[in-house]
Chain A
Amino acid sequence: MTAVRVRLALSDDSAAAPSATRHRRTVAVLALLLAVLMLLYLMLGPASMSPRLVVKALIGQPEETLHRIAVWEVRLPRALMAALSGAMLSSSGAFMQSVLRNPLAAPATVGVTPGAVLGAVGILMLASGSEGTLNQLNFLVPMGAIAGGLFAGGLVYVLSYRRAGADPLRLILTGVIVAAFLSAITSLLVLISGSHTDAIIRWLVGSLSTRTWEHLLYQLPVAAVAVPLAAAVIPAGNALQLGDATAANLGLRPELARAAVLAAAVVLASGAVSVVGGIAFLGMMGPHLARTLVGSDLRRLVPAAALIGAIVLVAADLLARTFSLDWLPLLEVATASGSRVPVGAFTALVGAPFFIYLMRARV
């Protein structure tokens, strides 16, 4: 074997492409930003702590038992889930936008998120009749979401398939229709449901409240499947971005490759929704933000989109945790699970205006 200098495609540093170096720096800055946010997340809350206290609690030497509970039991699992779910949702959108060659493609618009939400809500409804324990629900609801997301993704693909394949535009159109259909079923379910309405609405909007280590444990296997799958389809996704003819020229079978990339995207999105619910917007906004920073090459776009998704969701959940509806004097709101705003509301409320600003500033 000859000694070949092997470098990761992610970190090629060819002299002709200074943008590669710049992009790598951007990704590093994003990672740093995420780390800082995670630390803030662990520090802030009803019992705010200094970084020193957080670290002491993390390494198992808390000054007070309360610190250990706040950091280990409440904040850390929730922060990790926010980061993981945001990353999965946003990178899923990056794959979809690239392969479907459409800036509107996202887990929510092509039916995966609505499918997953329907799966979760369906399980909640079924459980409302029986006397299922909370533990069973904690397991069954995420599983229902994953099954629903995969089912919706598969359904969209099958319905779009004609003759030799499913072309991108037909996939998008079918996806939008399926999304509307599945959302309508969810709405009907909510209307006829007597109980669990609060939990269901939190699923629709997307929320991380009451999530614990247990939920993360159900999400991790999905991530363990999705992440290597995603890494493996990046080159194929890159080739597909250039059109089917070019992808075929480069030695791909476009139809198979598209199915593989979309499958990875569907698993990513389903895994995210299974824990946080139907977070609006992140799957579309994350990749757009990432593209303005590092361009369209998926070798950089996917990691950047994942980091941005994680950053946005961690930041939004930090806001959601600290922001209380009680502050709004006109609203006398008190829902069963308190007056906290679900994180999904923040991603849309803050994200939408910011996104509009960004688009206007760019053009």
Chain B
Amino acid sequence: MTEHEPPIDHPPVHAVDVSAGYRGRVVSQGLSLSFEQGSRTALVGPNGSGKSTILKTLARLITPLSGSVCLDGQDIASLPSREVARRMAVLPQLHEVPPDLTVHELVSQGRFPHVGPLKMLRLRDDEAVQWAIRLTRLEHLADRSVDTLSGGECQRAWIALALAQQTGLLLLDEPTTFLDVRHQLDLLELITLLNREHGVTVVMVLHDLNHASRYADRLIAIADGTVIADGPPVEVVTPELLRECFGVEASVMQDPRTGAPMCIPHATIDAASHESEWVTDAVET
């Protein structure tokens, strides 16, 4: 049997005049964003800037207070939720794993939006699950219980679940949190592979600006729920932006290997005048 790549749709997503937030608390207002097919975008910004809220609104995990999010030009709110799940996969920041659930069982849940009325898994569902497991290099762990995996393996298993959905659009909320340096790179390389080789449109929230510059083609910097910069990394990552958006003094230089901008924050704005050692320590993190 030939191993064929399962087909993938390419739905561009855009938000039209969206106000995002929770009941009684508007986080972001009048937001209009469009994400091109096959693009790789990182939302960056300080804690509490609203970047996760915006991502969740795009992912229809939160209903917009006003405005609309469109998939392929169709309002997400008017589409059946399963239909959305066949076109867009979301990796939430928090998830739960019941005890003794194997990687294979977890990943096969990604087929939920695809199964027929009789809820049976078909051959192509099995193929999609195998494909996702292979791509995330989890073959040897397929039969292991998810709660026994390391942080990096666990995150790969969750990505595999999203891959098994076989969507053209992947949204990730801080996928590298709690991972060590090696596993952060590993994960970002995997996302890049999906984007480059399989044409998956990626929108992700990232904390690390240097990772964002290197692994995204477009950065959207958000502060207080407003987009304050939007463009390729070289245009967005500047000392001015770091001051305005993150409130840090930083030097920005070019990564000699990739050409991506790299920043080294050295002081917070408030403390920049009086140089104390603990501040320098604190901004290292």
Contact = CB atoms under 8 A, between A and B. Distances in A.
Interface range for B: 35 or more
Contact of A242 (B97, B99, B115, B130): B97
Contact of B122 (A5, A235, A239, A251): A5
A297 B124 CA distance: 20
A232 B102 contact: no
Contacts of B29: none
B85 A9 contact: no
Interface string A219-241: 00000000000001011001101
B256 interface: no
A252 interface: yes
Interface in B101-134: 101-102, 104-106, 109-110, 112-113, 115, 119-124, 126, 129-130, 133
A249 B61 contact: yes
B15 interface: no
B61 A245 contact: yes
A6 B59 CA distance: 32
Contact of A296 (B84, B98, B161): B98
A14 B128 CA distance: 12
Interface in B73-110: 80-86, 89-92, 94-102, 104-106, 109-110
B123 A4 contact: yes
A159 interface: no
B274 interface: no
Contacts of A238: 109, 112
Contacts of A243: 92, 94-96
Contacts of A252: 81, 112
A201 to B, nearest CB: 37
B155 interface: no
B5 to A, nearest CB: 18
B195 interface: no
B220 to A, nearest CB: 21
A5 B120 CA distance: 11
Given A235-B112, A250-B109, A251-B85, A245 B120 contact: no
Nearest to B92: A245
Interface core residue of B120, B139, B145 (most chain A CB under 10 Å): B120
B120 A239 contact: no
A17 B142 contact: yes
Contacts of B4: none
Contacts of A295: 100-102, 105, 145
B112 to A, nearest CB: 4
B104 A19 contact: yes
A8 interface: yes
B45 to A, nearest CB: 21
A363 to B, nearest CB: 12
Given A8-B120, A101-B96, A235-B115, A14 B81 contact: no
Interface core residue of B92, B95, B105 (most chain A CB under 10 Å): B105
A248 B63 CA distance: 12
A5 B98 contact: no
Interface of B: 23, 59-61, 80-86, 89-92, 94-102, 104-106, 109-110, 112-113, 115, 119-124, 126, 129-130, 133, 139, 142-143, 145, 161-162, 165
20 contacts: A7-B122, A14-B130, A16-B104, A16-B133, A17-B142, A19-B143, A98-B98, A235-B119, A239-B109, A243-B95, A245-B94, A246-B96, A248-B90, A249-B85, A249-B89, A250-B112, A251-B113, A291-B99, A295-B145, A297-B102
Interface of A: 4-9, 12, 14, 16-20, 98, 101, 163, 232, 234-235, 238-239, 241-243, 245-246, 248-253, 291-292, 295-297
The 5 closest A-B pairs by CB, nearest first: A251-B85, A245-B92, A251-B82, A296-B98, A295-B100
Given A18-B143, A296-B101, 15 more contacts: A6-B120, A7-B120, A9-B120, A16-B129, A16-B139, A19-B102, A19-B143, A235-B115, A239-B109, A243-B96, A246-B95, A251-B86, A292-B100, A295-B101, A296-B98
